[in-house]
Amino acid sequence: MATASLHRNPLVLRPDTKGRVGLDSLLRRAREYLGGVPIAGLAAEVSSDGTITLRPRVEVAAETAHVLRLSDKDAAAFSDALAHPPKPNAALRKAAQRWNKTVDSQ
């Protein structure tokens, strides 16, 4: 598991004077932008002047989308968890006990 953090600002790729954004440059900078964090993808927005703005899909989903499309691998993992739900771990149980003692939830 990589421990690098994603940049918080979007990656903006502006076209050159001929209105081009090179694929090599785009891929290289996208790799740098991700910094080794294993996520499925980036959401791309293309403006009228050809500027490409890339943001982690998770950022876009938090603001706009109400659906998460699962890859086959993700769907298989979710299916396994539904069939064989993991028990609450010690950290969760301990936090629940602390919540019971300290929180007035309204």
Binding site residues, another protein, CB under 8 A: 1-6, 8, 37-40, 56-59, 61-62, 66-79, 81-83, 85-89, 91-93, 95-96, 98-99, 102-106
Q: Please say which residue, 50 or 57, places its beta carbon nearer to another protein.
A: 57
Q: How far is the CB of 30 from another protein (least distance, A)?
A: 16
Q: How far is the CB of 55 from another protein (least distance, A)?
A: 11
Dihedral angle at the C-alpha atoms of 59, 61, 95, 81, nearest 10 degrees? -130
64, 60, 12: which is closest to 40 by C-alpha?
A: 60
Q: What is the distance between the alpha carbons of residues 104 and 3, in angstroms, rounded to a whole number? A: 35
Find out whether 54 and 11 touch, Cβ atoms under 8 Å: yes
Q: How far is the CB of 81 from another protein (least distance, A)?
A: 5
Q: Please say which residue, 24 or 104, places its beta carbon nearer to another protein.
A: 104
Looking from the CA of 18 toward its CB, the CA atoms found within 13 Å total 3
Q: Please say which residue, 48 or 64, places its beta carbon nearer to another protein.
A: 64
**Amino acid identity at 69:** R
